[in-house]
Structure 1
Amino acid sequence: MSEEINVYFDFALELVKTAGNLILEFRNGCSHFEQKSSDIDLVTEVDKNVEKTLIDGLSKKFATHKFIGEESVADGAKCILTDDPTWIIDPVDGTLNFIHGYPQSCISVGLTINKEAVLGIIYNPILNLLYTAKKGQGAFLNSKQITVSKTKALDKALISFEAGTSRDEERKRVMFENFKLLVEKCHGVRTIGSAAMNMANVALGGSDAYFEFGIHAWDIAAGDIIVREAGGVCIDPSGGPFDILSRRVLCASSAELAQELATTLNQFYPERD
């Protein structure tokens, strides 16, 4: 299996790097975009072109593989995860950042087999940050191995979280309550506008935990294995096992921190993918 994963990874990596050039053309922002589910949930032609580049290339090389892509689902494709090899793709994670020229956006590509992520690639071409992981082989930033911080206590932790793109009133209420709780209980909070980049920062050891309610499988598939291969954990924010289709994630530098954070948070349960 590891040899097959290496083949999948090597081909996907070159494709991701090629697709990154489409993002680099707009490093200072992109003024042409469309609205999706809300006035802050947006899509550009770059999102669509990157996803098409990735899916076209991968499907030609691996004809039996399945795909879950953010823009494909937005256009009506079903979000179905089976045991088959499935590429889960966010062509531009952090589209709002990308539109504004804020350099925290990336391509996120994960491959699941038997519903488990076996490789992940997160590539921010603007800042030249390439995070990668393969099952059982560690996590890397620009080919240098990385590890989580190992922080175990919430009062010593730097926590990342996001306001998100939903205008749902209950979700906003929970988000503001959690922000207030965390400001009082942890070292500090950070928000950068990209789920994948937040998870990469946990893998790097830059932040100690990240959680979000309302994200999607394509936001977190790559980050899941990159965090785990860096020595961290991914769970449900309630403390249970991670479910990639639940639209809920909590990743942390240690099991102890993950569980303490889970028992601290107010919970919100969005509709599943």
Structure 2
Amino acid sequence: MSTVNPADAVGEAKPGPEVTVEFVQAIAREAGEILRTSFYDRNKKVDTKDSPADLVTEYDRAIEDHLKKRIHNAFPTHQFLCEESSTSNDCLTDAPTWVIDPIDGTTNFVHSIPHTCVSIGFAVNKQVLIGVVYAPILEELFTAEKGKGAYLNGERIHTSGRRDPSRAVVCCGFSVSSLRKIGMPDVDPVAQAAAREIEKSVMNNVTYCVHNCRDIRHYGSTALELCYVAAGRLDAYQSLSPKEWDLAAGVLIVEEAGGCVIDFDGKPLELHVRRALAASTEELARSFVGKLTAPGL
């Protein structure tokens, strides 16, 4: 059984309970069953958050509540960083922390598009040690433990090994909800100006990939898009929009599959920085540095 002892990782004097990959897989499957049974519900209760394109359902909340309860019962001192209950001031700390997106790809879920998943990362000292992404409609369970490889349904996976951007299929991720702030009367001018800068970078980056890569894709689920890089289905992924819960599990899975994940400026990725570049090889990743733009770079 694979284990991670968070107490050892943070240097505590007394050992704490061990987090196992099997435990994370088990709770991901439990959450996935809630997603699966509600997927075809045409009467889902759907609300919006920051914009008309930023959706949340009763099932997002139900899955997050279920996961937090299961984890708290097993590890009562651990912290959480979750999409539906965290605030803009919450951030990843050195403490053992569960980084959770209960339904990554909520819009896909609402519209019964199968690219939707549960994403769970376990981090200590701001380093993700275990990542699990479960897509129940597709029946795919992606798993990684730091230093021990990446797996899909129990079988080892590797990136495509692609090095040449002209032969690469690249996922261009972006947040429609962020761009929808432009022109909204109840959004302050500063936020609208920031959205316009993001829009410029998004259009630049998509245009660059269209003209310099084999093809582009966008599946609407950051965690799955990263897993597709890990599995060799995509060669690269770039986005200005992801948050910690979108990235945590998928980034580890890419790295453990032999891929490279960096910031747009070529530096190691920090999960709180809202720009990410993942690729099958470091050579391919660095071929985009200086070509992709982001506000502030």
Q: TM-score range by the shorter chain?
A: over 0.9
How far off is 1:180 after superposition? 1.4
Residue in structure 2 matched with residue 58 of structure 1 by the alignment? 71
| Matching of residue 211 in structure 1 with residue 210 in structure 2 | no
Against the structure 1 CA distance between its residues 3 and 102, is the aligned structure 2 distance closer, same or farther, given a 3 Å change threshold? Answer: closer
How far off is 1:29 after superposition? 5.4
| Matching of residue 266 in structure 1 with residue 286 in structure 2 | no
Matches within 5 A, 1:1-273: 3-4=3-4, 7-28=19-40, 30=42, 31-73=44-86, 76=87, 78-164=89-175, 165-167=177-179, 168-268=195-295
RMSD: 1.6
* C-alpha contact 1:121 1:130 (8 A) present in aligned 2: yes
Task: Tell me the number of residue pairs that the alignment of Structure 1 and Structure 2 aligns.
Answer: 267
* C-alpha contact 1:122 1:130 (8 A) present in aligned 2: yes
TM-score (norm 2): 0.86
How far, CA to CA, are the matches of 1:77 and 1:15 in structure 2?
26
Amino acid paired to 1:163 = F
TM-score (norm 1): 0.93
Q: Counterpart of 1:152 in 2: which secondary structure?
A: coil
Against the structure 1 CA distance between its residues 269 and 193, is the aligned structure 2 distance closer, same or farther, given a 3 Å change threshold? Answer: farther
Larger Rg: 2
Q: Deviations over 1:49-79 (max 9, x none)?
A: 0001101100110111111000011xx4742
How far, CA to CA, are the matches of 1:135 and 1:155 in structure 2?
31
Against the structure 1 CA distance between its residues 62 and 175, is the aligned structure 2 distance closer, same or farther, given a 3 Å change threshold? Answer: same
- Structure 2: tracts of 5 or more residues without a match: 6-17, 180-194
* C-alpha contact 1:159 1:188 (8 A) present in aligned 2: yes
- Structure 1: tracts of 5 or more residues without a match: none
* C-alpha contact 1:123 1:129 (8 A) present in aligned 2: yes
Q: Counterpart of 1:21 in 2: which secondary structure?
A: helix
How far, CA to CA, are the matches of 1:236 and 1:192 in structure 2?
21
Amino acid paired to 1:48 = R
Q: Deviations over 1:79-101 (max 9, x none)?
A: 22211111000000000110001
How far off is 1:173 after superposition? 2.1
- Which stretch has the larger CA shift, 26-35 or 206-215? 26-35
* C-alpha contact 2:174 2:241 (8 A) present in aligned 1: no
How far, CA to CA, are the matches of 1:190 and 1:196 in structure 2?
14
- Which stretch has the larger CA shift, 32-41 or 158-167? 158-167
